[in-house]
Chains A and B, each alone.
Chain A
Amino acid sequence: MKRNKSLLSEQLSKQRRSMLLLGIISLALGAAIIGQAALMAEAVNRIFVMNAAPSSILALLGSLLAVMLARTLLAHSNGRIGLSMAALAKKTMRGELLRKLAGDSAAATARGGTGGTVSVMLDAVDESDGYFSQYLPRMVEAAIIPLIMLAAVFVWHYPSGLIMLVTAPFIPIFMVLVGLKTKRKSEEKYEELSRFSGTFLDSLQGLVTLKLYGRARRQEEEIKRSSLAFREATMGILRIAFTNTFMMELIVMLSIGLVSLELALQLVVFKTMSFHTAFFVLLLVPEFFSLLKNTGTAFHSGRTSMGAIRKVEQMLGAMDGDWQMAQGDSIQPDRADPGIPVPPVIQLNDVRFHYGQGSFELAVDRLLIEQGQKIAIVGRSGAGKTTLLHLIAGLLPSASGEVLLNGRPLREYKNNSWFDQMSYITQHPYIFSGTLADNIAIDTSRAVTRSDVEQAAAAAGLAELIGGLERGLDTGVGEGGRGLSGGEKQRLALARAFLNRPAIILFDEPTVGLDVRTERVLQESIGSLASGATMITVAHRLYTIKDADRIIYLENGTILGSGSHEELVERLPQYAQLVQLQRKGRAG
């Protein structure tokens, strides 16, 4: 998808019908406001000036009530249209975010900031609500209704219209002034304000530390001090805003006063107008100004919402590049799906990858992984080991070069036919909210029996844990369920792999020592899991390395050498140093 248009105009073009409807209803609403004033003036005129009994003007009173009802309903409809526009906009924005996210490569997650993404998806999208539900309807109304009112006043009595025309621009001018001045002032004081307002949260977060250092009581004073300082700073800004509002209200009052003075003079001194017209104008003038004032208020809330929409836009934009690559991956979709023989030969030709321009680059000229080989990727932290693993797995798109499976490019295979053959045990396996059984069976698309799951769990050394649980495999874990220790999570990931019986296993070994039991399980059961399968491990354990058919030593994104442990110790001083240093460091 091309992003020439901004997210906002894109959203608006989708809602053109609603906007049109808003316009039509606003026209009708303007007519209703004028009708109400005219009928009201006429009714008072009949009763007061012409001494008519209410019973004789039933039709007039009836239509006044009807117009009032119509006005209420029309305003209500505009509100409803705004709300449904907001709902639609939020749905499409979230949908778009999700679509991009799902189509995005692992790069998005590698880039981090998961919390930020969730916050954009929830808070920023919700904040955008005001733009559609408040700002747009008010703006459409402001563009149409005051003009109709002005025209009506001009037709009936143009001098009042002139006064309104001259004074009206002061309202938006003052509104803008209020906005600009307070914005500048709050920017000036931004540091101060955020420091004062942050103290409370900061103190709560550090409560334990404060307690242990005997500072809790003193911090109370600190919170009070900063809250009061916050009050002073904010009141400084608000005072400006209130003063400007005061000025604006004075102008409104002055204008209304001017109009009534002019009306009174016309009525009494020049006797050029009727009571009916005068009252009609007098009814319309305050409505006119309050409409303008409301517009100003809506304008300010609209700006906040626009900021939120911009945030969504930025996030969508950031995902854009990756999305296009992911699209490229399925250029020939489903054309050929030969299925993958078990396990395939994996070959990397001239593969290049980087996370962003100018950042670290991974470059693999040629790498061949035969069927059933055990590969260990070794290197210092930041050498690109996990990135290489992701490239082999097709979790990251290569910038150039090709990953071949049995001689065919990886991208020609269906995503799922490839991932079905694979198990990936990450360093910090994610436990999904659900039962233990669900979590073990998540990695398999085939139907599995209960005893399959039990066997897999037992093979991964989870039998004892499950046996100790009242509800066994049906115990809820993950978010809202029971917490598992790091070692248990690792074993659960292993159980997933046991159940899936994959042709290829990717394993990002934990960098820290787990409990002895998990370490034992890892050491003993990985071997049986990997028999017959291709296994690629980012290795942090010597026994894994020594067991490997081949070791790939990475440094700064390039393969410096590959071979057996003994070969590399002899040939590659960097490798020998990495392995030896650690051992020496611990020997003492």
Chain B
Amino acid sequence: MSELTILIKAMLRERRDIAFAIAGGFVAGVGGVGLFSASGYLISQTVFAPPLYTLIVLISIVKLLGLLRAASRYAERLYSHQATFSILSRLRTSFFAKLVPLAPSMLRTRRSGDLLARIVGDVESLQHYFLRVAYPPIVLVMVFLATVLFASAYSIWIAGLLVLGLLGAAFVIPAVILRGQRNIRGRVRLHRAALSTNAAELLYGFLELKVYGKLDERGQQLRRHSDVLADEQQAAGIHLLNGQSLHVGLTYLVTWGVLVLGGYLIVNDSLAGVFLAMLVLAAQTVFEEAGAMATLPSYKQDSEHAASRLAETVQPGEALPPQPEGSLSDDAPPSVELNGVSFQYADEWRPALRDIHIRMAAGSKTAIVGASGSGKTTVLELLLKLYAPAQGQIRMNDKPLNELHESSIWKHAAVVLQQGHFFRGTIRDNLLLDEAGLSEEELQVILGQAELSYKKLDDEVYERGENLSDGEKQRLALARAMAKGGRLWLLDEPTSSLDAITEQRIYRRLFKLAANDTLILVSHRLTGLESMDQIIVMDHGTVVEAGTYEELMDKRGYFYEMKEIERQLIGEAG
């Protein structure tokens, strides 16, 4: 699993903190065992009425061990958490780098929000792998070995019993828990997903279900799902509890075994009686320190599950081909040509584009129109090399797109996406410019051109631009594209949330700015297209018509009919 390799690599980078954490954990564990052994020995010594000073020495040792234990526990906590967060930081950056090339296809599905949240969660649960799975057994085994070594100084038999106990606690019990746990947890996940889907369906389809008289039926069904989920979660809980109880039982059993074995050894004179209480307490403490072993399997499985899910997300079958070296020259607007292009999204059942032929001359202005789902956005995505066409060829400046480096296209393109993202930060941050860019005044002018002059560059923007209206987001996206500039303008319904007057104002400035550039505008409205050099009309993945506004209107074909429909629309439309 390469995800675990990434994790291990990240762990190796933090080896200093990890070493400190392990050392701290070891000293704390040994200190605890020593502390209780010493007090057992202390109390046994009193039977022989020793001189007071031996007691004082012993008591001081107990105190010292207590202090040592608390202090090293503190160090262990500090360093292990420090290491955990550093590992998380490394994991995040390396996964981000891995996700970058997969960006658009990964985000296409309707539930992309869930997917991203899941990736974030999975990366976080990988960090637990270190804190809960990777390093506790190391500490545990070290403390155990030290205890065994200590016990073997008194009796090899008792040491042997402890080793047996260690095998049980560190291997047998976790193995018993792991068995069956996979199935139970799998079922919990399955039922949880079913409940989530059904609940969403009930809520989103509420009105329809109510009118169809299916609400009660669906509610009952959902309730059954909920009950099954609760039962399965209970089963999973019991499974975990069983493991913990097994561990506690083993602790008592070994303690008892040490007591009985010690008794026989004392009778046979191979052990001094004064050490009995000490060894019993040592055995009990060392097992209590190992309590985390019982919950380890569940963390282990969660992390592994997270790792394999990340692996699925990050590796979409074949490796991506390296980007070719070709680049677009930036001193002239590019010509664009699509020749017999077909394309189908991986998760869709029918092609998004079928045999598309479009020619856009250098510096020309093209509008693409059509109903939603007709393939307009896909054309832009293919031009940006976010996807590769299944068939046909795309050329820019007569160079095939598959010979051009993607970033050379992006460098020359000024893009407004339908769902552009806005980051937490300021307006300036969201213009996404390099440091050595435009001056404050120039930026403010650009905001003004996008009808955003009332916003200041330092105004705050919340996550996903939540404090901006849809119209403001579109204007900010336009400002972003204007500030970047480029010889190829690709605009995907950039003004759908703006009123007609604002739209006209912005378009006037935009077209002036792009006067000598190639511009492709996906438009939801059929107004203001008279000055375009060509209008491409799309329906269900095909180009049904193309021509200037006048040509298309004269033809009285598909575009004319769309125009007629638009004329019919009143109210909030438009």
- Which of B1-9, B96-104, B174-182 interfaces with chain A? B96-104
- Whether the pair A485, B373 counts as a contact (CB closer than 8 A) is yes
Tell me whether A426 is interfacial, beta carbon within 8 Å: yes
- Whether the pair B49, A268 counts as a contact (CB closer than 8 A) is yes
Q: A264-B55, A268-B52, A426-B207 are in contact. Are A541 and B568 (CB under 8 A)?
A: yes
Q: Which residues of the partner chain A approach B315 to less than 8 Å between Cβ atoms?
A: none
Q: Which residues of the partner chain B approach A243 to less than 8 Å between Cβ atoms?
A: 74
Q: Which residues of the partner chain A approach B370 to less than 8 Å between Cβ atoms?
A: 515
- Whether the pair A68, B252 counts as a contact (CB closer than 8 A) is yes
Nearest residue (CB) in A for B236 is: A83
| Cβ-defined partner of A253 (8 Å) among B66, B238, B420, B421 | B66
Q: Which residues of the partner chain B approach A215 to less than 8 Å between Cβ atoms?
A: 432
Contact flags (1/0) for A222-244 with B, using CB distance below 8 Å? 01100110110011001100110
Q: Which residues of chain B from 307 to 361 have a CB within 8 Å of any chain A CB?
A: 348-349
Q: A230-B85, A231-B86 are in contact. Are A511 and B573 (CB under 8 A)?
A: yes
- Whether the pair B238, A83 counts as a contact (CB closer than 8 A) is yes
Interface range, A side: 35 or more
- Which of A19-27, A93-101, A296-304 interfaces with chain B? A93-101
Q: Which residues of the partner chain A approach B207 to less than 8 Å between Cβ atoms?
A: 106, 109, 395, 424, 426, 430
Q: Tell me how far the C-beta of B295 lies from the nearest C-beta in chain A, rounded to whole angstroms.
A: 13
Q: Tell me how far the C-beta of B526 lies from the nearest C-beta in chain A, rounded to whole angstroms.
A: 8
Q: Which residues of the partner chain A approach B241 to less than 8 Å between Cβ atoms?
A: 76, 79-80, 83
- Whether the pair B46, A87 counts as a contact (CB closer than 8 A) is no
- Whether the pair B565, A106 counts as a contact (CB closer than 8 A) is no
- Whether the pair A44, B277 counts as a contact (CB closer than 8 A) is yes
Tell me whether B211 is interfacial, beta carbon within 8 Å: yes
- Whether the pair A214, B410 counts as a contact (CB closer than 8 A) is yes
With most chain B CB atoms within 10 A of its CB, the pick from A40, A84, A195 is A40
Tell me whether B423 is interfacial, beta carbon within 8 Å: yes
- Whether the pair B571, A279 counts as a contact (CB closer than 8 A) is no
Tell me whether B498 is interfacial, beta carbon within 8 Å: no
Q: Which residues of the partner chain B approach A423 to less than 8 Å between Cβ atoms?
A: 211
| Cβ-defined partner of B421 (8 Å) among A209, A269, A480 | A209
Tell me whether B262 is interfacial, beta carbon within 8 Å: yes
- Which of B393-401, B411-419, B442-450 interfaces with chain A? B411-419
Q: A86-B237, A208-B386 are in contact. Are A48 and B47 (CB under 8 A)?
A: yes
Cα(A278)–Cα(B262), bound, Å: 20
Cα(A455)–Cα(B227), bound, Å: 40
- Which of A357-365, A375-383, A398-406, A566-574 interfaces with chain B? A375-383
- Whether the pair B571, A250 counts as a contact (CB closer than 8 A) is no
- Whether the pair B44, A48 counts as a contact (CB closer than 8 A) is yes
With most chain B CB atoms within 10 A of its CB, the pick from A72, A88, A117 is A72
| Cβ-defined partner of B74 (8 Å) among A114, A210, A242 | A242
Q: Which residues of the partner chain A approach B453 to less than 8 Å between Cβ atoms?
A: none
Q: A253-B63, A286-B36, A483-B348 are in contact. Are A542 and B421 (CB under 8 A)?
A: no
Nearest residue (CB) in A for B477 is: A209
Q: Which residues of chain B from 199 to 257 have a CB within 8 Å of any chain A CB?
A: 199-208, 210-216, 219, 222-223, 226-227, 230-231, 233-234, 237-238, 241-242, 244-245, 248-249, 252-253, 255-256
Tell me whether B304 is interfacial, beta carbon within 8 Å: no
- Whether the pair B49, A212 counts as a contact (CB closer than 8 A) is no
Q: Which residues of chain B from 82 to 98 have a CB within 8 Å of any chain A CB?
A: 82, 85-86, 88-89, 92-93, 96-97
- Whether the pair B349, A540 counts as a contact (CB closer than 8 A) is no
Cα(A257)–Cα(B68), bound, Å: 14
Tell me whether A9 is interfacial, beta carbon within 8 Å: no
Residue pairs across A and B with Cβ atoms less than 8 A apart, 14 shown, are A40-B259, A71-B252, A76-B241, A91-B226, A117-B203, A118-B200, A204-B96, A209-B417, A223-B92, A224-B89, A249-B69, A257-B62, A268-B52, A395-B207
Q: 4 closest Cβ contacts across the A-B interface?
A: A253-B66, A206-B421, A227-B89, A485-B373
List 10 extra interface pairs beyond A212-B410, A260-B43, A442-B208, CB under 8 A.
A44-B276, A48-B47, A54-B260, A61-B260, A91-B230, A202-B463, A215-B432, A282-B43, A514-B371, A541-B569
